[in-house]
Chains A and B, each alone.
Chain A
């Protein structure tokens, strides 16, 4: 810092004022800015792997020396070998059954929530007519509807879809409404000054503008849909990962329960990552604010 202000003579090596060069007193500004600081990608990955390893390690240790019976807490290796065994049996058919159910239930819910949410978000009259009711129903726990759904339509596939729908639809509507409300009003005004109709503005300005946020809403609610699916299968199903958990409970196969839970978690994580990746591809323009 000294050289930046000094004359060429100083740089050449004439020590005119050595006192200013010698460091005196304690260093200043020792504290670095740590809040919100960046972390390099390799460091991030190493830390994430370590975090996961610590969890597995703690589990292993507790299973080994915790004094609990395998019945309550199977060790990781026991769960792993159960996974291998299960993979040779019903894992794929169970996963497929669950995946199918959640996909259908989620798609029905999304197909209904998108138009309703978009209309509530753009027309105050529709909002007044529907939103308060939606907000109310949303707070009724979806779990409590399960007995009702069985009375209404039995225990077939439709009942699983209905449970997923009840758990997902109302929240989706409110989140999509919010996504649409956040569309910048000036963009809509430009549409009007261009003489566009309401429908054209909705289709060509509102929806494209809100679509990155709506995509995020779908990604988040898909995770919740899985929760409702497992719930529906726990109550009444002939196959699926949730059903596998109930069966395992009946035979005290704790390791199978662990396997099913891990598979559900892994599928959820995978779908989330796929949607994140697709979203980044589809909405590259939204990365930087414009």
Chain B
């Protein structure tokens, strides 16, 4: 267990519901991410996957259990874990470069170094020519690319992504997935990626963890043995379709449709 980068150990979360009853959002989930592994957490909305990511980020406290990074228990948010949210989180009063430099203030960098690292990461996501633009001038996809660049810039040990492409249109989404795969394949990093999109999860991941809703439980842990580098053509390959079909049927089994439609 020593080479596990991120460990989720027996994490449960429960809330007080509207009528005072106790809602068990996450029920005793355990898993671990090896170093430089890309793992997706997939499940229907309301299964607690975003809450689990928030717990890993240290922004939400688990009701029981613990999250460990390199064997150390997470007690709050910190620079060892970078987070990319679904909503746009660039600071609108700063230009794109300043947004990334902002994240680098915590490092022991000179002003020139900050600028160099920021520009490097803008180049990584293909936005060098937008360094001086304001966030409001960027499209949704571009904003998320900057957010990813910002989260990578200070070299966190783990990258946590909460449906980062959830608000984007289907076409932009596809491009973003390719970009993320390319970046990840070039600069390996431990990533926990939350999504409700099975295609996205299969395309990006080394492993897909499937969750059921209410209570949120882990129902399956699937290793995705698709060759890398991955390009979008992969999504029509027989293997890809097979993984996809398998995961879909597992989701169906775990989540019977109300009314008994099959």
User: Which chain A residues have a beta carbon within 8 Å of chain B's beta carbons?
Assistant: 184, 186-187, 189-190, 192-196, 204-205, 208-209, 211, 283, 285-290
The interface residues of chain B lying within 8 Å CB-to-CB of A205 are: 91
- Chain A contact residues: over half helix, strand or loop, or mixed? helix
Which of B78, B82, B93, B105 is A285 in contact with, Cβ under 8 Å? B93
Number of A-B contacts (CB under 8 A): 66
The interface residues of chain A lying within 8 Å CB-to-CB of B59 are: 189, 192-193
**Chain B interface bracket (under 10, 10 to 19, 20 to 34, 35 or more):** 20 to 34
Which of B77, B83, B93 is A209 in contact with, Cβ under 8 Å? B93
In the assembled complex, the Cα of A285 lies from the Cα of B82 at a distance in Å of 26
The interface residues of chain A lying within 8 Å CB-to-CB of B58 are: 192-193
Q: With both chains docked as a complex, state the minimum distance between the C-beta of B99 and any C-beta of chain A, in angstroms.
A: 10
The interface residues of chain A lying within 8 Å CB-to-CB of B88 are: 290
User: Which chain B residues have a beta carbon within 8 Å of chain A's beta carbons?
Assistant: 57-59, 76-79, 81-83, 85, 87-93, 102-103, 105-106, 134-136, 154
Q: With both chains docked as a complex, state the minimum distance between the C-beta of A228 and any C-beta of chain B, in angstroms.
A: 33
> Is B136 a contact partner of A289 (Cβ separation < 8 A)?
yes
Q: With both chains docked as a complex, state the minimum distance between the C-beta of A32 and any C-beta of chain B, in angstroms.
A: 31
In the assembled complex, the Cα of A209 lies from the Cα of B81 at a distance in Å of 24
Q: With both chains docked as a complex, state the minimum distance between the C-beta of B101 and any C-beta of chain A, in angstroms.
A: 12
Which of B79, B85, B92 is A186 in contact with, Cβ under 8 Å? B85
> Is A193 a contact partner of B57 (Cβ separation < 8 A)?
yes
The interface residues of chain A lying within 8 Å CB-to-CB of B92 are: 209, 285-286, 289-290
> Is A194 a contact partner of B79 (Cβ separation < 8 A)?
yes
> Is B136 a contact partner of A209 (Cβ separation < 8 A)?
no
The interface residues of chain A lying within 8 Å CB-to-CB of B90 are: 290
> Is B89 a contact partner of A194 (Cβ separation < 8 A)?
no
In the assembled complex, the Cα of A194 lies from the Cα of B76 at a distance in Å of 11
Question: Which of B57, B83, B90, B92 has most chain A Cβ within 10 Å?
Answer: B92
